[in-house]
Amino acid sequence: MRIPLRRAFGAVTMTALISLTLAACGDDDSDSPNTQSDEKTEQTDQAPEQADLDAAVLSAGDIPEGFEQTPVEDDEDDPDNPFNDTCYGELGDFDSRAGDPDAEAKTQFEASDASNFPGAEIKAGVAYYDDADDVAEKFTAFVEDIKSCTTVTTTTPDGLNINITLTTSDFSVPGADDGAKIVLSGTIASSTDSASLNASVIALRTGNYVANASTFEIDTFGLGAELDGLARTQFERVTGLAE
């Protein structure tokens, strides 16, 4: 049951949940149109080298045992996404508001042992935006919009019923200009079986930079306890870049 559920649920829900994790949303296409205004404020931090971003993002040594690094999967729009007609789907993603990051690095890890966090996933990312004022404004507005969406009930094309509750709160660490934590919990069920789920994301901004970390689980609830520490570690790496 876990594998079909994870595929069905992960494909639609992680896309929505990670809409706030800025470095996990970009399509990695430097030629993509940027929706930001052409009139940018003076950047407050020097643009980083890609090698520095790659070194700053969380690596295997930062992740709990039982996970292995896997290729990063970029989320794509899905016309059959069952969240499209819900308050969650109407939020869109952050990049549709702020434009793609001017530079980014991201990593992804999946559970390597089925007995330890089965169907679990960890993502982390670092994003840099040339216009600090613009990304600050868009970040704040997007978090406020997410706070207005607290429950979602929908059905996938395959007939899986999804019921989730979202809790969005401010998340503060020393040195952060803005921060938010979203916790998603609920169930996904077929006509014969069901599974509990838990997914969380923390995004933190300082100046031109945004750091994020997220977790996703089915039928396990131990991984979410690791998230605060992972997010703080990721943010500390970013503050090193911003200095």
Q: Tokens in use for 241?
A: 């870049």
Task: Tell me what the mean pLDDT of segment 164-176 comes to.
Answer: 93
Q: What is the pLDDT of residues 179-217, one digit of tens each?
A: 999 998 888 888 888 888 888 899 999 999 999 999 988
**Weakest-pLDDT range from 71-75, 227-231, 237-241:** 71-75
Helices (H) and strands (E) in the chain, counts: 7, 8
Is the CATH code 3.40.190.10 the one for domain 2-28+44-242? Answer: no
Nearest one of 216, 183, 198 to 73, comparing CA atoms: 216
Q: Tokens in use for 34?
A: 């940027």
pTM tops 0.75, yes or no: yes
Identify the three-state secondary structure at position 152.
strand
- The per-residue DSSP string of 196-209 comes to EEEEEEEEEEETTE
